A and B are shown apart, each in its own frame.
Chain A
């Protein structure tokens, strides 16, 4: 093997680390320990010579016979791997290395080798917040994720997410929108495939933008497609990178729960955006809230929770910040799903939360009066909520015939109080 012959020659240590990560069935703890005790280059040589103990495995009879670690290592084409890293500008990092995000080492099961594409400095600078959620989201959920990500990014927070369709994509896009406005705030994508393997394909453009103004990281070696088992593992990294995990929308089951579980294990605060109780896409988040997750209505709530002086945070909220930080210990978090319902609400967070004025239609009440809404318009507005309703429902709720309802909706939309998408109307 050429890689073997070249083993004595100078290849950068990163290539050896990448080679080790490419071996089959090696986990983060094995990678960490072999790199820590031998360094990447020596560890690779030992692996090729067959002197390295393979990761501990379940008893033989449960697994089909596999080639030994040495054989697998000899089959790896290190030079091709090196070319791939160079060509796609992929950085490789491991716990002792300078680029490695140190926050990961404070969490359970840090990645042994991490691949990075984009600007590695993003990890050093900012508090990170994960905005995650379902792929099957509502338009409303996507809009919330987008706006929240944008506002967080403008406040200097790095938005972490999983590059998936739905909420994840909306969160990345929102953060990028802030970055495009030069209000700082890059975004970090954690992928389950190799950092040069775009998945899902619909996100190819988004992927490029993130690499340009943020970073994409992955534990998966370059060129390797995402397999099902890598997604929960990816979610663990999302949780570990973040100071807070905010679930925007999730169903009763789904990948978001892996991230929430990982966050709870790491002592990372979990927040959830409340949603309509009859919306299937909000069942998960509402369950989280019921079990004591921090309610998140806007980016401000996240900033207050982080104790981060965001542009939108009112000055009077400082006291609330301290209290809320005091309430975010790991012991409180872990009680969330397994412990008693709402047990941790008794903590300082709920009591100390600074009273904030909710933003929305109430805020605009004087404004609306100035526009002199008619009786019918007010009647229609009163029947509208934040859950999107269709025309017939509005007519039924307001008790008006179709004609006046349609006219009022048009006027209300003109005033910017309500919003209609594809025939579903809701307050803005």
Chain B
């Protein structure tokens, strides 16, 4: 006899509906799974058999064939367990088929027949073709986030069959939002001094610009970076759902207290491999850290300790906002629109980088900073040198910087205002502005134009750099509540926040490439 049960499998961060067809017929007893299952999927055979028997059902002494359709798609994970078990029972006549036809089933089975949560419940539940989905109780809150699909749970297989047979009722799903949202992010008021660092952090948050912090050990680079998520505006519901999908597919905790509006903050250690960072892996392609930081912050502490090849993998996602991972089994596109924040020392000895302060030979310093390649360095719109704070600042002796220790909520309010202005330009943040849009939105005043002209002619600024400076200057103007055209104060601050030579080497600006190469050259500076 034949039974068909709906379920889903994960491809990248997207779910894909799968129908599990089970055929029970005379023949040598056994279970066979066809339709490109991976190892964990093939192991379902043993879990299903044990779960059925410990739940008090009979294992059919017949030939059981399971087909996972569409059969050309590679299936991964244990989420099909429940559907296979149910299909077997229906095909063997031990369970009714009619109530099961209106439901999809996504859960792993324990040997005792209990339903267990699976990775990626959120995208899986979003992909099912039916109006309702049955998941493990522990995944219920995650599946609920989908919204348009009704969520049912059952503690184990036996109860589930009882419900389907009409003997039991569906248990109430656990109440939503019953967990505390976690500790609040650290406050900016705790950062003493750091006038330039704070300014850079604010501009980065407001404009979505990538930020590189360079400074000696113990200067507070990490401290600054950890306060960035608190400055970012909360995620819009659809953005939060996007983030939750990726996190769910990556196996992270999702949706315990509903859809979290907090932008994610990911800080992988510098021993991370290229695959861990950009995504990939075995039969199932997992999203990497850059996708987990989607719509949030990817913080790479000790940037120069990351292998250069790993870092250069970031270049394409930084430009495109997504990463396409190609493997023999599948080609998957992961979202990866994140803010990159890097922190590093200027040299291995950790000196403060002022001329003459470092005791490293020139060669070893160059070798240390060379891990951050020119193209990657170029993608940091903001690069600032962070200094060790002064003693008075640390002890709060009422130094001149005391007044500038603004708390997070004050700065966040300005950031939100700047983001509103960016939205009026039809982008999320100024960093996303197209070059052509710069002409319309970031016009330059005469004084600002003069300053940029000077930088371009003496080779201190490249054509690409010009576009980035204009975006940053626009963000600065937005934060100050100033109107365009941009003034010299905006442009100069932008130049100061994008310090060249912050790594002790000049940026590579070939003289011939200064003008007209990428169309962001002086030709487009309006008269």
Contact = CB atoms under 8 A, between A and B. Distances in A.
A396 B401 contact: yes
B195 A392 contact: yes
A406 B501 contact: no
A184 interface: no
Contacts of B194: 392
A136 B492 contact: no
B505 to A, nearest CB: 9
* Interface-central residue, A165, A282, A391, A393, by most chain B CB under 10 Å: A391
Contacts of A138: 355-356
Contact of B387 (A140, A251, A280, A390): A390
A391 B496 contact: yes
Contact of A136 (B361, B400, B506): B361
Given A280-B357, A402-B196, A423-B502, A165 B362 contact: yes
A409 to B, nearest CB: 8
Given A392-B196, A422-B502, A280 B359 contact: yes
Nearest to B404: A401
A407 B504 contact: no
B500 interface: yes
Contact of B400 (A141, A249, A281, A399): A399
B390 A396 contact: yes
B266 interface: no
Contacts of A422: 499-502, 504, 506
Contacts of A249: 356
Interface residues of B, number: 32
Contact of A396 (B357, B400, B500, B504): B400
Interface string B394-407: 00000011000000
B489 interface: yes
B354 A390 contact: yes
B356 A281 contact: yes
A165 B501 CA distance: 20
Nearest to A400: B400
Contact of A403 (B362, B390, B489): B489
A402 B390 contact: no
Contacts, number: 81
B385 interface: yes
A137 interface: yes
A141 B385 contact: no
Contact of A393 (B199, B356, B387, B451): B387
A279 B195 contact: no
A315 B93 CA distance: 119
A136 B355 contact: no
* Most chain B beta-carbon neighbours within 10 Å: one of A279, A388, A396: A396
A281 B357 CA distance: 8
A279 B489 CA distance: 32
Given A136-B362, A407-B488, A422-B501, A279 B385 contact: no
Contacts of A395: 195-196
A406 B362 contact: no
B500 to A, nearest CB: 7
A402 B385 contact: no
A410 interface: yes
Given A390-B385, A410-B451, A422-B500, A136 B359 contact: yes
A254 to B, nearest CB: 11
Contact of B356 (A135, A137, A165): A137
A249 to B, nearest CB: 8
Interface in B341-382: 354-362
Contacts of A141: 356
A406 B356 contact: no
Contact of A402 (B355, B387, B496): B496
Contact of B357 (A140, A165, A279, A407): A279
Contacts of B359: 136, 251, 280
A12 B319 CA distance: 69
A410 B488 contact: yes
B493 interface: yes
Interface in A238-253: 249, 251
Contacts of A402: 195-196, 199, 493, 496
- Pick the most buried of B356, B488, B501: most chain A CB atoms within 10 A of its CB: B356
Nearest to A423: B499
Contacts of A66: none
- A interface, how many residues as a size bin? 20 to 34
Contacts of A393: 387
Interface in A127-179: 135-141, 165
A338 interface: no
A396 B489 CA distance: 19
B496 A424 contact: no
A402 B490 CA distance: 11
A390 B362 CA distance: 21
Nearest to A424: B355
B489 A407 contact: yes
A391 B387 CA distance: 10
B129 to A, nearest CB: 58
A57 interface: no
A316 interface: no
B493 A279 contact: no
Contact of B354 (A406, A407, A410, A424): A424
Contacts of B357: 279-280
A279 B496 contact: no
B477 to A, nearest CB: 12
Interface in A365-397: 388, 390-393, 395-396
A56 interface: no
A128 B357 CA distance: 32
Given A393-B387, A423-B502, A139 B355 contact: yes
Interface in A188-213: none
Interface in B32-87: none
A363 to B, nearest CB: 24
A37 interface: no
Nearest to A276: B356
A421 interface: yes
Given A391-B196, A423-B502, A280 B493 contact: no
B501 A421 contact: yes
Interface in B289-335: none
Interface in B462-504: 488-489, 492-493, 495-496, 499-502, 504
A410 B385 contact: no
Contacts of B502: 422-423
A121 B340 CA distance: 61
B39 to A, nearest CB: 54
28 contacts: A136-B358, A136-B359, A138-B355, A139-B355, A140-B356, A165-B362, A280-B359, A390-B354, A390-B385, A390-B387, A392-B193, A392-B194, A392-B196, A393-B387, A395-B195, A396-B390, A399-B400, A402-B196, A403-B492, A406-B492, A406-B495, A421-B355, A422-B502, A422-B504, A423-B385, A423-B501, A423-B502, A424-B354
Given A391-B196, A407-B488, A422-B506, 18 more contacts: A135-B362, A137-B356, A138-B356, A139-B355, A249-B356, A279-B356, A280-B356, A388-B355, A391-B496, A392-B195, A402-B496, A406-B492, A407-B489, A407-B492, A410-B492, A421-B501, A423-B385, A423-B496
Give me the 7 closest cross-chain CB pairs, A-B, nearest first: A422-B501, A138-B356, A281-B356, A138-B355, A279-B356, A423-B499, A406-B492
